[in-house]
A and B are shown apart, each in its own frame.
Chain A
Amino acid sequence: GESVGLHLPTLSVQEGDNSIINCAYSNSASDYFIWYKQESGKGPQFIIDIRSNMDKRQGQRVTVLLNKTVKHLSLQIAATQPGDSAVYFCAEKVLTGGGNKLTFGTGTQLKVEL
């Protein structure tokens, strides 16, 4: 029969506010952490990545923060827009695996309210 899907945590924000999406990771050996955005009916879309030897990286309207002490990753979206509504996944990558494999987290649903 059908498997029951995981209940995604949801973050609701007002348009124009800043959003912070959090992710806890488990593998302290991960070399890269990557944020992906997945809109309904589409494949994951790369947003930004950060190497494990960094603690902050900024992109266009997005900032990723990495806290290795507590194995925590966050994605900050400035001035959130309706087009930002999607599921956001963090993913990890270990360079020595040989295959460039990404390990995804469970995701957070971001809803932008007008």
Chain B
Amino acid sequence: EPEVTQTPSHQVTQMGQEVILRCVPISNHLYFYWYRQILGQKVEFLVSFYNNEISEKSEIFDDQFSVERPDGSNFTLKIRSTKLEDSAMYFCASSAFMVGSGEQYFGPGTRLTVT
């Protein structure tokens, strides 16, 4: 069964450093998303991406964040200057459709620890 993959599984970085989290969505999917989950809290939407453009973003997704689809298979989330409060689990998701509930398939996540 096709699945979303994410690398690395765990990233430790120092405050102020840039990090890039990588995702390979399901191959025939057209819509891509990033969510985050701070330890013990709910999953929060960050951004959605379609046709090489951001479709929607949340208040969390400020100028420190950016997304890119550099080639036909990868989807990345960059945080330019990490803060302690960026420590969280980051989930990539993809969907084939936007109509209907547009079932989103989630990857296993990257745990980001900012020290």
A positions within 8 Å CB-CB of B:
1-6, 8, 32, 34, 36, 38, 41-46, 49, 51, 89, 91, 93, 95, 97-107
Contact = CB atoms under 8 A, between A and B. Distances in A.
A43 B102 CA distance: 17
B75 interface: no
A34 B39 contact: no
A94 to B, nearest CB: 10
A97 B45 CA distance: 13
Interface string B72-86: 000000000000110
Interface string B94-115: 0100111111111111000000
Contacts, number: 86
A43 B41 contact: no
B42 A43 contact: no
B62 to A, nearest CB: 16
Contacts of B100: 32, 49, 51
Contact of A100 (B91, B104, B109): B104
A103 B42 CA distance: 9
B48 A89 contact: no
B56 interface: yes
Interface residues of B, number: 37
A99 B48 contact: yes
A3 B38 contact: yes
A4 B42 CA distance: 12
B48 A43 contact: no
Contacts of A49: 100-101, 103
Interface of B: 4, 31, 33, 35, 38-45, 47-48, 54-58, 84-85, 87, 91, 93, 95, 98-109
Contacts of B57: 99
Contact of B101 (A4, A32, A99, A104): A32
Nearest to B39: A5
Given A3-B41, A43-B107, 11 more contacts: A5-B39, A42-B109, A44-B43, A49-B100, A51-B100, A100-B48, A100-B56, A100-B98, A100-B104, A101-B48, A106-B42
